[in-house]
Structure 1
Amino acid sequence: MSDQNKISTELLGLAEAFLQGKLNAAGSHRLEEIILSEVQYRQKFVEYVNMNSALSMMARQQSPDELFHESYYKRQNTWLKKERVTKLIAAATSVALVCCIGFVAFLIGNLPTPQIGYVAALSDGIEWSSPVLEQGDVVREGDVLKIESGYITIRTTLGAVVDVRGPSTLVMNEQQQFDLSHGLLKAVVPEAAKGFTVSTQDVQVVDLGTEFIVDRELGMGTKVSVRQGHVEANLIDINGTVLKTLDLYDGWSKWLDNGIEKEQDLAFHDEEFNSFDRFRGSVTRLQGCARASSVDLTELTPGAHVTKDHVLIIPERQQVSLTEPITVQTLEGLLQLKAGDLVSSYLVHFDPGKFNTKPPIGSVSFDYPVTAIIGSADEMLILDSVVGYEHATYPQFPARALELDVDGDKIHVSADRKTVKFNLDMLPPDNFDQFRILLVQQNQ
């Protein structure tokens, strides 16, 4: 098959994909490339899709060739008529080209923009100003995120993890470029996503391998804080021109304001970072009905925090260094923890109340392997004072535990031990459930 025939076959395949609504962004760009390369391909495409536009109207009239032959035989091929017909052919070709290019431009403009990531986690009770997103939803270039309260986590395809706390407005221009109109954003950026940039009206913050926060209040400038690593902060004027370039490292904070075109050092405080830690800890993804908590919970007894249509995943104390050995019964047998082991705990809390429309099925994934699941009331009680919230009130009754009979609660740990899947029994009377997920770094 000649190259020309191969291209013609490819063109028809792309045109067919378009007609079936299956043409993706890459296909549309290839279609445009072929159409613009030669007149014959433009003609083939126009004929195939049979556009209901100026071109189709022309097609119902005499063709340029018919006009030419009619002129030739009736007017004895005078140069005047030939010139007119030539102009008509040129005009028809031009119209065809314009229609074709315009149609392809319209097609490309209406295709989904490239995917840049997905929603990895949501808090309970999140309030939206933009269209509502669910966990697992794809986010694309140009999407605008507006939340009035609560938390959301976006994970980009290059692995950058972006947490946003409401009220915030965020424009996701492209995978490596987010614009924060106002609000609070934390980013953790791996080596693969180095160069990830967050811009506000005051500053461009370019990641150079780090964990940082950008906090902007309307009319109050922008605060940039680095917990670890290194960022480049560029103070910009109202036209986007860089006025000053600053390097920020571990434990540094800066305030920048383009209204007065100044920057100032600030004392570093961990509070904002800690608020995000309490939101999800080392959780990388929530699925199904799993949700993170948007507030610090100190009352975890029945009825105190009802979880209608969701199950809460609550980061408790993190990296607790044990002062003495502890032996606890887990779902997989006895676990012996030594003094000096670092323990991080996540409480799974289900208190459905009276009215629910969704089954309590979901999963939670972590950065690190899960060491154990604690599901008995007695073992939970032992750990309440060790890894639980310092001032929290926990249930003291046996029904707090998992019921792992045939028709009861079901818990499964993935083969790589980084994901815990659950399917909880929501039928009364024993439908209040709590269990703990422990991640342990053992003292060698």
Structure 2
Amino acid sequence: MAAEIPDEFIELLEALSEERIDEAGRARLVSMVREDASLRAVLREHFAVSRALASLERDDPGFAERTAAHVMKTAEEGEFAFAGKVTRRIARHRFAKGLAAAAVLTLAALPLAWKMLHPAKDVATLVRMDEAGIVLSRTPVKAGEKLTETSGLIRLDFHNGAVVAVEAPAKLTTVSGMEIALESGRLNAWCPESAHGFKVRTKSAELTDLGTSFGISASPDGRSEFVVLDGLVEVQKGSEKIRLEQGKALTSNAQDTLQSVAFDPSGFKNTWPLASGILSTTGSVIPASPDVPEKVALSEDSEHVLVIPERRGIPFTSPLEAEIIGPGSLPGTFDGSAKTMEPQAGRRLRSILLRYDPVGTSPEDYFIRLEGEVTFDRPVLAISCLRESLEKSDGVFSTASWTATHRGIELKQIDNDPDSVTLSEDRRTVKIIFYAGASTDEIRVFLED
């Protein structure tokens, strides 16, 4: 027979369920749970159902039946069994009939009891921004937290390194530090090695990341589409599993098997830059269109300087040459000579190109002035601006090879002012002014990953 449960404990829980407990009573209840291992054990045994009851929004036709069966069972336990005492008191105070129903209502009103025993952990940081990419707030997100977004973009930075950009309207739940349940909306995720195995569940299928960048769109009716921009994922629906490589896409719905569809990442034009660390761009500077890395690296545009993400997570084990290594301008603060940054054990780097590469070939005497800015989610470590330093880092950071007559910026021009690059005081915003024509003008920005 189970051990006697103190009347005080039962009365405090009853007060909690009826929302009439005061602060002193709440403190006493918490104290009793913390100090008495037997009470914790009883709670774990009899209130396992409360976690599910706290999540009644989920669609599960058998849930109510299983819950009722559990409560009926606990109501039939011995004279001193915890659930029996609770339900008898509730029946005496509130109901003459319907003991099981009363117990269900009481348990559903006690999610705090579960939380006291199993407090949710922070698993990510929610970053909110305005339309200009300025960060408005950073708030912790706990396991099991539901998010409903009606407009705009948000970003979830998981403690394991995964980055998830979400475009509203969207509904999702951060199930854990390694899993998201996407009810509806669009997201793009990047997962480093530390987050491989990260999962995203939709109503009709589940994606497991095997490295490193993917996009998912989900509609309320259960239809989902999965695209892989870099690396490899596994998509599962029931017993059906398909490994999906970069440049491939699948769709799923509630009825049919997984179906291959044409790879079209254009729908992720807003989330992909944000997941890549690009908070905002202005003027002639715009993010490249999402695609597999090799195609992004070869993007051309006759009217814009494209922001092109390159490799991430590169160990900083070799010297790095760059003309800009701090706030200031080139020309101006910096004279154009290359500075060497020595490697630092344990640090990892990533790079992003800012490149003007016109479509086709322009006449030699054709020039266009391009001015704009890009703001990143972290401080810039250094910027390579001239051909020699760019070529030295190509082998480690570039994702494709190409042939260009000219590279880098030009500090001496006959008919125009020199090109210029400026790094802001907070080291997060890069401003460029390019006088470009037939040649390729570009810089490589290094950030700590």
TM-score normalised by the chain length of structure 2: 0.47
Bigger Rg, structure 1 or 2: 1
